Each structure stands twice: as structure tokens, then as C-alpha cells.
Amino acid sequence: MTVAAIDAMINKLQLNAEGKLKHFITIEGLSKTLLTEILDTAESFVGITDQQIKKVPLLRGKTIVNLFFENSTRTRTTFELAAKRLSADVLSMSISTSSTSKGESLLDTIRNLEAMFVDMFVVRHGISGAAHFIARHTAPHISVINAGDGQHAHPTQAMLDMFTIRQIKKDFATLRVAIIGDILHSRVARSQIQALNTLGVAEVRVIAPKTLLPAHVETLGVSVSHSLAEGLKDIDVIIMLRLQKERMTSALLPSESEYFKCFGLTESKLKIAKPDAIVMHPGPINRGVEIDSKVADGPQSVILKQVSNGIAVRMAIMSMAMQPQGGMQ
């Protein structure tokens, strides 16, 4: 099933009868107003980390299940922290001990968890469309958040990236954003492109070798460059992506060292962009492959700020998705 086909099926599922967020599976099809509401709600949660008691009671009595069928320390940890700071009870299921590894189907697992009166599933899965499948088959009162599915989408990562950009740059309308690296295999890149275009940036530019770009990538609403020397000119925001070698089925690059030579971000290449350009990375970072340590740890890097912002943004999305008809209790 193509990414476009998955998004088309999901669009009608994500919103409830009042047009409010019910599930969060993809950014495709969501309005600028709703994305802005997520960012504004996240802003209201940022200050909680400075409080002596880092909790609000919005989801007290609710149970959230993290269903991670792929490893991801950072995403899973921030979802757990976000749920706990909303005062929810959290159950995290490990794939190594899950019954699915013993032959139980995904739907069987969902049905058993529903019998335990849970309220939300946060799903990370290696197959595109898995989160949508669960949202279609789960009980009506349960919300589903996509924490990354195959090569389809990673919408909460994209929104924490948007939040970080707005925090620093304020206005999306004037920005030129470059996404550099393995666009072909990146669910993050697809969600970032959708979010950036919906929020109205001046330009989204992808920079990569031809072998790491999807066919007809321009139809996603981007301009294309195959050179950092040209592609980084006039750029305000640089988003680096890792090489997803686990998803590559053939040799798409001559070597990692050759890739770094041509597409790795170094201090000298960073100077091509605007002087106040910020450097982002959804992680995990491969130092010396797509980014030099001096850049990753340098003054223009906001990579750790992205991690911190992930908690507030995921708090916002979970609280919005679990608000009852008629508004938050």
C-alpha cells in the first residue's frame, strides 16, 4: 500500500464529530488551524518542567499503553514522561516479551489490552499503516497516537520539530527549510514536509543524492538539490537525517565516508547557510556520517532542545486526543 493511499484512508478517521483530534496518525489532511492549536497547547506545558511538582491532572485516571514493536529509547521515554506529567497511568509493552512474538496476532493483543480498560495506545511499528489498522479496529473510546510506522509517518516528531522552529524563528512564513539526507526511507521527512507546507513556510528544500530521494519527490511540495554548496544558500533551518541502513535493500551509496564528504554537515558547509541558521536532527545522530560533532554540539545546534520540547508537544497531542465531546473536563 502506498503512503498516499494510507493517508487517504486515515483522513476521515483522525477527527471526531466536532472536528477535534481523536487519533493522531498522520499530519496529511490536518488543517493549519489544528497544527497551530497543537503548538499553542504545547506552549502551555513548557513551564511545567520548572515547577517543583511536574504534573497536571488532565489525564488523571486514564491508562495509556505504549506499544513499541520497534526500539526507540528517546521517543518511548518522552511519551512515558509526557503521559506521567499528565497524571495518567502508563503501561509500556516490550516487543521482546510481547505475546505477538509467541504467535499472538496484533488484533489479539489489542483486544486483550482493551479488556483491561485502557484509554490510549501509543504505537510504534515497522509496518506502514499499523497505527491506522489499530485505530480502525480498536474500541470507540480509545485514541491512537502514531509514534512512527514503517516509512509512512512520524507525526509527533514532526510537530516537536515545528514547535522548536517556531520557538526560535517565530514566523514560519519567511523561512526556507532544508531537509538533508535519506529522504527515501524517512517517515520523519514525510511528516516534516507535510507540516512545514501546511504551516506555510516560504520553501521546503530537500538535499540528497538521487539514490536517496523518492520518485517524483517534487510532488510532495519541495524543491530538490543534489549539492550542499547550492542547496544550503539562503537557508534558515537545516534538518539533518540519518542514513537508515536497516531499511536499505541495496547498495545506494559508495561508502559512508564518501557520503560524509558530499552530504555531511561540517562547520565550513554550515557557513553557506544564513548566519543565524539553526541545525536540527530527529536522532539518533551518526556523528561523522551525516553531521560533524562540532556542528552537532555547536552554538547553532538545537538538537537537545528538540528532545526537551518532545515532552511538551506529546503532552499536548495526548491531552487533545483524549478530550471528551464538548471539551476538556
* Dihedrals phi, psi of 158, to nearest 5 degrees: -60, -40
Q: Which one of 20, 26, 62, 75 is the catalytic residue?
A: 75
Cα dihedral: 122, 158, 210, 255 (round 10): -70
Q: Which one of 41, 63, 74, 247 is the catalytic residue?
A: 74
User: Helical H runs in 65-186?
Assistant: 73-85, 106-114, 130-137, 155-169
Q: Which one of 23, 62, 124, 187 is the catalytic residue?
A: 124
Q: Which of 283, 290, 225 is nearest to 258 (CA)?
A: 290
| Distance, CA of 325 to CA of 323 (rounded, Å) | 7
| Distance, CA of 65 to CA of 93 (rounded, Å) | 7
Decide if 210 is catalytic.
no
Cα dihedral: 168, 185, 226, 27 (round 10): -40
* β-strands 63-68, 120-125 pairing: parallel
Q: Which of 293, 195, 171 is nearest to 240 (CA)?
A: 293
| Distance, CA of 188 to CA of 3 (rounded, Å) | 13
| Distance, CA of 183 to CA of 251 (rounded, Å) | 16
Give the Cβ contact number of residue 171 at 10 Å: 10
Decide if 314 is catalytic.
no
Decide if 75 is catalytic.
yes
Q: Which one of 2, 12, 33, 102 is the catalytic residue?
A: 102
Helix (H, G, I), strand (E, B) or coil at 301: strand
Q: Which one of 62, 125, 152, 154 is the catalytic residue?
A: 154
Q: Which active-site residues does the annotation give?
A: 74-75, 102, 124, 154
